[in-house]
A and B are shown apart, each in its own frame.
Chain A
């Protein structure tokens, strides 16, 4: 009974840990604009500062009930409302919140404005866990953004961020879009250029395949040795012999061949075959009639070769 209770407790703890692991840790701030005079407009045709959030996981993420704030001491400044289907961010996608201090305009209008030098936080539903934060540079110019160099990467380090003015090829301002635009599969391109004949991939891949199966092989070699030892001890115990009493070097053959030979010999000697070949049994088989199973109404038997 105690054992069962312990098992149940372990299962509950395991489930709790699993649900913790599936939290909203992949949600992050991805790009911020403070003064917006010429960039993207909201659904009312107006321009405001904006905060872009990014779901860096490969699963959809529901963000209702997380909190956005620019005041660490007031983590619940803007709770993302419940009941809006648009608060589910698809995998590796973005959503923009307008920093216009007008929450009555809709789900994506937060209750505060943002200024240079401020830190923006995302708090989880527990109001304690900071999911992400970013400090806006004090000298961020109008119509420029402070953006992650690579979407969702770099944690809370400010080094992972850069100022983007939208003028250069690599400094696009990208509301609701990836900060880095990838037009080729970089991995494939690298292999195409650096491993033209496939030799490197072959060596690496074969090494991995061999290692995986070698580890499995070694593991099962060890398990089989332990298994053999246990079965040997059990066999000796069944014969009433203590393992320590067995003379050194004496092996127990457990290939099954000896047993098979003994069984065959007994079979021959006793003619211990059961007698089903010589007995004819006729049993009446009763089946309730149903047109569904009637052969009359069936199509026909399946053809056999």
Chain B
């Protein structure tokens, strides 16, 4: 039977219409698009972690454009451009690359000068495991609970790395939650710091850190890698890259590599990581009661982590000599939101004594928190992976 030209055109237009986003859209798509736009609003207008929330927010828009399956454009369709870019998240190699950049950016001097501050970084990791217990109580499976709890480490790449291994279906919500709360650190932490400290404690002046030799700075990443990864080899991808980046920075003969790792490479990976994590958030996984639970648990984890850091310093002061007491206001910096939580320690400290600069003291537990959260992720992966 011969087909008329009008029928032919109508058929093609019908096919085209069925391929459009308007035809395939559901209300869930529009909710997700609204979520994406909300994140862009927070990032651009409110300055909430813009470097991360802009890629994530726009990624949510990319990932939730409705289309008919089989068009080979979706992030979960094998071999598509987005799918290839998403491999860095699903196979877990973007977060270690970000850690390489973090290592190349981080100055561990404050920690090397006062190694006992590492324990403050360790104590703050209680936020992760406290949230793990709460997550179990809310009915999450142990592996999901572990993936959610890592939000308490306040470390986006670690959260993405661990959730991609333990609970890939929750990764989008976990990443968004982790970065959202990191942006809210200046709002969450100061009230807790004031709640758990007395006025007398807030004005404790710490001794200035001693000078650290270049040799010590070079030895730190080597010894740090060997010791931590012998204890928790599962943290090797994160810690290996972190310490490698730091060695590039400190050894003095690879300045060019350190610059690339801390600038161009980190920027490229951050763009791809944020965008693909955003694009991986699909309505079926994101618009659930579980997501609300994840956001609640993330909040709990941040509160527990910040509080336990402060309380640990108070406890630690009981055994420290009088002239070596620590200011508990640096305890919040045990979470690894570098350097924002250190800045908060400094700002709150200055409120009570304008001559008491805590920034460099807080950097110690802050960078220890980066190591601590990577170790904690490795431990969770060993137990639950």
Interface residues of A (CB under 8 A from B): 185, 187-188, 191-192, 195-199, 201-202, 204-206, 208-221, 223-224, 227-228, 231, 254-257
Tell me the minimal C-beta distance from A99 to chain B in angstroms.
Answer: 38
Chain A contacts of B136 at CB under 8 A? Answer: 196-198
Contacts of B201-242 to chain A: CB distance below 8 A: 208, 210-213, 215-216, 219-220, 223-224, 227-228, 231-232
Complex Cα gap A206–B208 (Å): 30
B215 CB, nearest partner CB in chain A, Å: 7
Quick check: B384 and A219 within 8 Å, CB to CB?
Answer: no
B210 to chain A: closest residue by CB: A255
Tell me the complex Cα distance, A198–B128, Å: 12
User: Contacts A202-B130, A211-B231 given: A254-B211 contact, CB under 8 Å?
Assistant: yes
Q: Find the residue from A192, A214, A217, A223 having the highest chain B CB count within 10 A.
A: A217
Contact between chains at B379 and A208 (CB < 8 Å): yes
User: Residue B143 contacts which of A188, A195, A205, A227 (CB distance < 8 angstroms)?
Assistant: A188
Say which one of B5-13, B118-126, B324-332 lies at the interface with A: B118-126
Q: Is the Cβ of A217 less than 8 Å from the Cβ of B118?
A: yes
Is B145 close to A, CB under 8 A?
Answer: yes
Are the CB atoms of B129 and A205 closer together than 8 Å?
yes
CB-based contact B208/A257 at 8 Å: yes
Q: Which residues of A contact B231 (CB under 8 A)?
A: 208, 211-212, 215
Which B residues form the contact surface with A (CB < 8 A)?
Answer: 111-113, 115-116, 118-119, 121-123, 125-126, 128-130, 132-133, 135-137, 141-143, 145, 208, 210-213, 215-216, 219-220, 223-224, 227-228, 231-232, 368, 371-372, 375-376, 379-380, 383-385
Enumerate chain B residues within 8 angstroms of A217, measured Cβ to Cβ.
Answer: 115-116, 118-119
Q: Separation in Å of the A305 CB from the closest CB of chain B? A: 9
- Residue numbers in B under 8 Å from A196 (CB-CB): 136
> What are 21 inter-chain pairs, A to B, with CB distance below 8 A?
A187-B385, A188-B141, A192-B141, A198-B129, A198-B132, A201-B129, A201-B383, A202-B130, A204-B379, A205-B129, A206-B125, A209-B376, A211-B231, A212-B122, A215-B231, A216-B115, A216-B223, A218-B115, A220-B118, A227-B216, A255-B211
Nearest neighbor of B121 in chain A, beta-carbon distance: A213
User: Which of A185, A208, A218, A254 counts the most B-chain CB atoms under 10 A from its CB?
Assistant: A208
Q: Determine the chain B residues whose CB is within 8 A of the CB of A204 once the complex forms.
A: 379, 383
> What residue of chain A has the Cβ atom nearest to residue B126's Cβ?
A206
Check B383 against A224 for contact (C-beta < 8 Å).
Answer: no
Could you tell me the distance between the alpha carbons of A216 and B226 in the complex, rounded to whole angstroms? 10
Chain A at the B interface: SS class: helix
The list of the 5 closest CB pairs from A to B, nearest first, reads A202-B129, A198-B133, A220-B115, A217-B115, A213-B122
How distant is the Cα of A231 from the Cα of B213 in the complex, in angstroms?
Answer: 9
Distance, CA A231 to CA B220, complexed state (A):
17
Residues in B whose Cβ lies below 8 Å from that of A198: 129, 132-133, 135-136, 142, 145
Contact B371 A213 (CB under 8 A): yes
In-complex Cβ contact of A215 among B112, B126, B227, B385 (8 A): B227
Judged by DSSP, the binding face of B is helix
Residues of A within 8 A of B380 (CB): 205
Given contacts A214-B122, A215-B227, contact A197 B133 (CB under 8 A): yes
A199 proximity list for chain B (CB < 8 A): 133
Which among A202, A215, A220 is the interface contact of B220 at CB below 8 angstroms? A220
Q: How far is the CB of B232 from chain A (nearest CB, A)?
A: 6
CB contacts (< 8 Å) of B383 on chain A: these are: 187, 191, 201, 204-205
Alpha-carbon separation in the docked complex, A244 to B232 (Å): 44
Q: How far is the CA of A196 from the CA of B133 in the complex (A)?
A: 9
Question: Which A residues are CB-close (under 8 A) to B129?
Answer: 198, 201-202, 205-206
Q: Judging by beta carbons under 8 Å apart, are B145 and A216 in contact? A: no
Q: How far is the CA of A18 from the CA of B58 in the complex (A)?
A: 45
Q: Apart from A192-B141, A204-B383, what are 9 other A-B pairs with CB-CB below 8 Å?
A: A202-B129, A202-B133, A210-B119, A220-B112, A221-B116, A231-B213, A255-B211, A256-B208, A257-B208
Please judge, given known A-B contacts A191-B383, A216-B223, A220-B115, whether A210 and B216 are in contact too, CB under 8 Å: no
Would you call A213 and B142 a contact (CB within 8 A)?
A: no
Given contacts A213-B122, A213-B371, A213-B375, is CB(A221)–CB(B211) below 8 Å? no
Residues of B contacting A214 in the complex (Cβ-Cβ under 8 angstroms): 118-119, 122
* Residues of A contacting B133 in the complex (Cβ-Cβ under 8 angstroms): 197-199, 202
* A contact residues around B371 at 8 Å (CB): 213, 216
Q: Which residue from chain A places its CB closest to the CB of B239 in the assembled complex?
A: A212
Q: Is the CB of B112 within 8 A of A205?
A: no
Residue of B nearest to A222 (CB): B115
- How far is A210 from B231 in the complex, measured between Cα atoms in Å? 11
Whether B213 contacts A209 by the Cβ 8 Å rule is: no
CB distance from B178 to the nearest CB of A (A): 18
Instruction: For B145, list chain A residues within 8 Å (CB).
Output: 198
Residue from A185, A208, A256 in contact with B232 in the complex, judged by beta carbons closer than 8 Å: A208
Contact of B118 with A216 in the complex, beta carbons under 8 Å: yes
Question: With a CB–CB cut-off of 8 A, which chain B residues contact A197?
Answer: 133, 136-137
Most buried by B among A211, A227, A228: A227
